[in-house]
Structure formats: structure tokens, C-alpha cells
Amino acid sequence: MATYDLEEQEQLAEIKTWWKQYGNLLVNVLTAVAVVVIVWQGWTWYQRNQSAQASMVYNVLQKAVQDKDSQRIKAASGELLEKFSRSNYASLGAMSAAKAMIDSGDAKTAKVQLTWVAENGKDELRDLARLRLAAVLLDEKEYDQALKQLDGSAGPSFAARFADTRGDVFSAQSKKTEALAAYQSALTKLDEADKASKEKSSSAGWQGQSNAVYKELVQQKHDALGGSK
């Protein structure tokens, strides 16, 4: 029994020595982990709360769009951009507001909304905003600004439309050579998209039909400038 007590005392001494050497470090590590967990939970709650609030404002915006209430559209969209700019609802709301403003003839406000998404949006929404903004600028004969929006790369799903719109701008400027090159680039990209679609599936479905119709429109613009098939 005495031997057992001695072993127990030795173990206790080792534990005391280990704690003296590493105890503070262990406490600090556990405290840091607890703080990280608390911060993460707080951030997650904040994100959920922000998303829920942004969703409510977005729903107000959609109702205003349905009612064609320009003032409420501007107010709701402004709130999304100001308070919830990091949420997807901000870009989605700006795109909805821009379309409503264009439909109502308020191109100035529409450009503000589209510019915000073109500068702050992500991926396809950003490309779509750039494309629509370029179309508005083209209508206003702001050709250089329209081309500026079309500069740089675009996602695969928008590459042909960017080239096509560049062709429209060049055509409006009476730059026949540049317009033909842009339309030809759009046709080439559409051919590439058709090929990729056929490789993935034996049936392109409605998407393939839509691309075929769009390709024919681009081809007509190309041929109207004297291009050959």
C-alpha cells in the first residue's frame, strides 16, 4: 500500500510539474478556442439576421416593381445598396430596379443601378449588368462609354453577347471593319458553345433552339454589313 502511495505521489508530482510548465498555455489555448467559437456563432447569427432583413427589403422592392411605384423602387433599392451591399440581394435588387427604371423611361437612375452592379456584383450578375449598361449607353450614343463596359473578359455564357454588342456599337459608329470582326467573333463563340453543348448532351433542348435563333440574328447583322457566310 505504501508503494502504491509512493507511485501516486510521484504521478501527482509529475502532474504538478506539467501544469506548472504548460498550465497557462493550456488555459490560454482553451480561452482562445472559446472566443473563436463565440465570435463565429455571433458572426453566423449576424449574417443570418442581415440576410433575413435584406430579404424583407428585397420583397418590398419586388412588390414596388409590380406596382410600378418608382419612388418605392428607388427607396428599397437604395436601402439594399446602403445597408446590405455585401448580400446577393443588393445586386439582385439593383438589377430589378434598373429594369423597372428603363421600362419607365428613367435611364439615368437605371444607369446608376447597373453601374453599381458592374462595379460590385459577382460573376454572371456583374457581366449581365455590364452588358445592359452598355446597351443603355449605346441607345444614348455614348459609344466610348459603352465600349468601356464591354472591355475585358466575360464569363463563357456572356462572351458571344459581349462580342455582338461590341459589333452593334461599332456599327453605330460606322466602323464597318471593327463591326464585322466583332460579329464574326460572336458567331465563332456561338459555334464553340454549340459544340460544347453537343458534347455534353445528345439533345441541346430549348437552349440549343434559343442559341440557333440568336445566332441567326447575329449572322443577319454580319451579312448586312457585307460579310460573307
C-alpha cell recorded at residue 61 = 422592392
Within this chain, do residues 163 and 103 fall inside the same structural domain, yes or no?
no
Same domain, 161 and 90: no
The answer to whether residues 134 and 159 belong to one domain is no
Confidence at residue 43, expressed as pLDDT on a 0 to 100 scale: 52
Residue 105 and residue 65 in one domain = yes
Task: Give the count of domains, the chain.
Answer: 2
Exposure string for 127-153, b = 16+ CB within 10 A, e = fewer:
bbbbbbbbbbbbeeebbebbbebbeee
On whether residue 217 sits in a domain, the answer given is yes
Ramachandran angles phi, psi of 158, nearest 5°: -115, -5
Indicate whether 22 belongs to any domain.
no
**Do 161 and 183 lie in a common domain?**
yes
Per-residue pLDDT of the chain (229 residues; tens, 9 = 90+): 445 566 676 677 777 777 777 767 767 776 766 666 665 566 555 456 667 888 899 999 999 999 999 999 999 999 999 998 888 899 999 999 999 999 999 999 999 999 999 999 988 999 999 999 999 999 999 999 999 999 988 888 899 999 999 999 999 999 999 999 999 999 999 988 878 777 665 444 545 567 788 999 999 999 999 866 5
Q: Is residue 31 part of a domain?
A: no
Q: Are residues 90 and 166 in the same domain?
A: no
- State the CATH number of the domain containing residue 164: 1.20.58
Considering the domain boundaries, does residue 15 fall inside one? Answer: no
pLDDT of residue 45: 54
Query: For the chain, how are helix, strand and coil distributed in percent, rounded to 5?
Result: 85, 0, 15
Q: Does residue 158 form part of some domain? A: yes
Q: What is the predicted pLDDT for the residue at 38?
A: 62
CA dihedral (85, 79, 92, 118) in degrees, to 10, reads: -60
Q: Kindly state whether residues 98 and 163 are assigned to the same domain.
A: no
Whole-number pLDDT of residue 1: 46
Q: Which residues contact 100 (CB under 8 A, 6 or more apart)?
A: 64, 65, 68, 70, 73
Q: How far apart are CA 184 and CA 227, in angstroms?
A: 9
Same domain? 158 vs 201 = yes
CA angle 87, 135, 161 (to 5 degrees): 85
Residue 125 sits in the same domain as residue 160 = no
Which of these, 99, 163, 124, lies nearest to 114 by C-alpha position? 99
Q: Are both 201 and 223 inside the same structural domain?
A: yes
Please indicate, yes or no, if residue 6 is contained in any of the structural domains.
no
pLDDT of the residue at 28: 73
Q: What are the residue ranges of helices labelled H in 104-200?
A: 107-120, 123-139, 143-150, 159-172, 176-200
What predicted TM-score, i.e. pTM, was given to this entire model? Answer: 0.74
pLDDT of residue 209: 65
Q: Does 137 share its domain with 169? A: no
Residue ending a domain, among 87, 106, 141, is 141
Residue 128 belongs to what domain range? 57-141
